Chain A
């Protein structure tokens, strides 16, 4: 594999595409498939065959287009028309098998399909900035040729043939990219640490365990553009001097696993995975490991234990995986989205990514927008965008005339941000200052009807259920805190209970072994910070020591 063969493949693919007047791009991501996209594809293909129109119109399965709640999504594309012509593409939502005839009729005649049309000149599309999702919805995730036609693997070939490993690390460091798995650790520094660590063997691990409730950013990237993650991992392997990698995917993502397997085979076939990559001595191979549904296995040391075949529990750090990781060897572990940024950085240069975002948070972030908001779905926005722009413009606000109350970011490790902070920029530091975290990208909008104590209870229940039970503060603390929150929700708590809750928040946060316990109090702390009145109003009358007054029973 070299640049010429890659370009040849890309040109051939593009030429083949432009020969077909109409393409129907049907979303084949988890969400749309569950709404019947698969059946739709079959029906469309059958009708085209019957009508002998397979030369004029082609049905393609593509990745996620973002508007998951409105699926199945279909795009009518006319590759012959120039790409900037607004008539070259039309997006349709909620297309079912019953709509197949009408859809084909419109597609073949070139008339606009008004009934199911979904305008793409709205902020939901125009305010997004797509880097990680640049190919999502445009390529068939099961065809490496599609990926290559969109510039795929060009960054890797460039890195392998024109850059030294340390130049690759420099490029990543210059981009200012920070880990998208939650912690926000600078990726360039992590790569450099692994590269500098002594070890006869090193490993690369991609963390695709995505366990936050309601989060599906990583799944969507893997469903829609699996090669991108592979390319990022291979580039990382070259940079840090590793020749073996694992992708740890949660078992609940069968489609992502299937597509990754296919992607790995295709990459081997064209010689970007295997031995002597790009005619260099560099060899790299990737294996898939499946998680068995424990949130804590997303924590890096627990994940490593799980790959090693041990019980998935965290261990104290330091030593960090960068020096003592898988089988005791230096190990680079990054999130799916972190790796998915790498091909773009290698193609456009680190400075191009650093030009997007804020002083200390560069590039873009993918969010799964959910909750009581008009546009549910997957979005990618530049860092530094305000929460208000996300909620009110991209999300088009809270439906049914209700008032916005708070937005929850960072999942069970994060917090709730109230309306008065909506003009805050979305970057790592600002979110922490507001009592939440960037997290991996869950964003749940809540309206005036939500009870914040109940929100805190929900996340505490999650943490209690997912606590591995290794360390005392998290194991016992989350359980006791959940009991206290349940008491509050039932309005049976006394001021003493609220005091104890606050005290336990501090102990659990400061002494727990891993991030799960250390951040488990965050939803409570942030709701206490902004909505303390809701806690206070849930309290029972009490004596001067804070104990609930006995209820007198008259017989």
Chain B
């Protein structure tokens, strides 16, 4: 009998860090790795928001390919051999985190997010014990015009989680970006004070998806700002159901 065509929805088999794993077509390397207990470092990726692919911490090696691929954006393929950890990758990730510390003014000791910060945790995880890149020491502003929240550009890593959650989950699209390169900034509406925003619903999602002390609730002292992210899966599930 002639061989049947394989339907395209069949499961795939691939190797991640010497583990043979199965996956559904369309899943990303990040999805499949985390299903199998492999936590690939990442900062801009957040389950439930659209893929951004910008922090570059999740870059992985794929056998037979010279360049690196970001795990959050790369779909799995049959027979793929992925390595998520190697001395080379560890070195790159460390330098990238150092770059973030050098880029803006992250003074953990006086930061409201001290102890609850994803950037700080990432630096600890990757063994960043000092910064060997010269600090850029930019002069930045703080927007405290909102009743309840504060945007502190000194602590921002431009991951755009706030921009995405505001547009994709809350539907307000208050947050946006202005400037390019080292001048890239998070803005509210058309670069207006947050407190003047007509679109902001004050839902606070941006604050709670922010990995650092860039978006915080007012009235918190150093090390007091704990983010709450429990709501996110529910909202995205609700949103997905509404679309069906």
* B56→A472 contact, CB < 8 A: yes
| B92, chain A: closest CB distance, angstroms | 5
Which A residues are in CB contact (< 8 Å) with B132? 500
Given A483-B134, A507-B92: A469 touches B182 (CB 8 Å cut-off): yes
Given A464-B181, A467-B182, A478-B181: A472 touches B96 (CB 8 Å cut-off): yes
Is A133 an interface position by the 8 A CB rule?
A: no
* A476→B92 contact, CB < 8 A: no
Is A56 an interface position by the 8 A CB rule?
A: no
Q: Within A484-522, which residues are at the interface with B (CB < 8 Å)? A: 500, 503-504, 507, 510-513, 518
* B95→A503 contact, CB < 8 A: yes
| A518, chain B: closest CB distance, angstroms | 8
* A476→B134 contact, CB < 8 A: no
Q: Within B180-229, which residues are at the interface with A (CB < 8 Å)? A: 180-184
| B159, chain A: closest CB distance, angstroms | 9
CA distance A468 to B179 in the complex (A): 8
**Nearest B residue (CB) for A312:** B180
Which B residues are in CB contact (< 8 Å) with A513? 53-54, 56, 70
* A479→B96 contact, CB < 8 A: no
Binds A, one of B17-25, B32-40, B97-105, B110-118: B97-105
CA distance A302 to B180 in the complex (A): 13
**Which one of B133, B136, B177, B179 has the greatest number of beta carbons of chain A within 10 Å?**
B133
* A318→B55 contact, CB < 8 A: no
* A466→B181 contact, CB < 8 A: yes
Is B73 an interface position by the 8 A CB rule?
A: yes
Contact of B181 among A311, A469, A503, A504 (CB under 8 A): A469
**Nearest A residue (CB) for B73:** A316
* B56→A469 contact, CB < 8 A: no
* B74→A511 contact, CB < 8 A: no
CA distance A464 to B182 in the complex (A): 8
* B102→A480 contact, CB < 8 A: yes
Is B75 an interface position by the 8 A CB rule?
A: yes
Is A477 an interface position by the 8 A CB rule?
A: yes
Bitwise interface map of B from 146 to 170 toward A, beta carbon under 8 Å scored 1, else 0: 0000000000011000000000000
Tell me the dominant secondary structure on chain A's binding face: helix
CA distance A504 to B91 in the complex (A): 11
Which A residues are in CB contact (< 8 Å) with B142? none
CA distance A512 to B184 in the complex (A): 16
Is A294 an interface position by the 8 A CB rule?
A: yes
* A475→B182 contact, CB < 8 A: yes
* A511→B96 contact, CB < 8 A: yes
Which A residues are in CB contact (< 8 Å) with B75? 318-319
CA distance A478 to B99 in the complex (A): 11
Is B68 an interface position by the 8 A CB rule?
A: yes
Is A315 an interface position by the 8 A CB rule?
A: yes
CA distance A468 to B56 in the complex (A): 15
| B75, chain A: closest CB distance, angstroms | 7
Contact of A479 among B56, B70, B100, B136 (CB under 8 A): B136
* B136→A471 contact, CB < 8 A: no
**Nearest A residue (CB) for B178:** A311
* B54→A471 contact, CB < 8 A: yes
Which B residues are in CB contact (< 8 Å) with A480? 99, 102, 133-134, 136
* A469→B184 contact, CB < 8 A: yes
Is B59 an interface position by the 8 A CB rule?
A: yes
Given A469-B158, A475-B103, A480-B102: A512 touches B181 (CB 8 Å cut-off): no
* B54→A479 contact, CB < 8 A: no
* A473→B96 contact, CB < 8 A: yes
5 A-B pairs whose Cβ atoms sit less than 8 Å apart in the complex: A294-B180, A472-B55, A472-B157, A473-B95, A504-B95
Q: Which residues of A come within 8 Å of B, CB atoms?
A: 294, 296, 311, 315-316, 318-319, 464-473, 475-480, 483, 500, 503-504, 507, 510-513, 518
7 more contacts with CB within 8 A, not counting A467-B180, A507-B96, are A468-B181, A470-B52, A472-B157, A475-B181, A476-B182, A500-B132, A512-B56
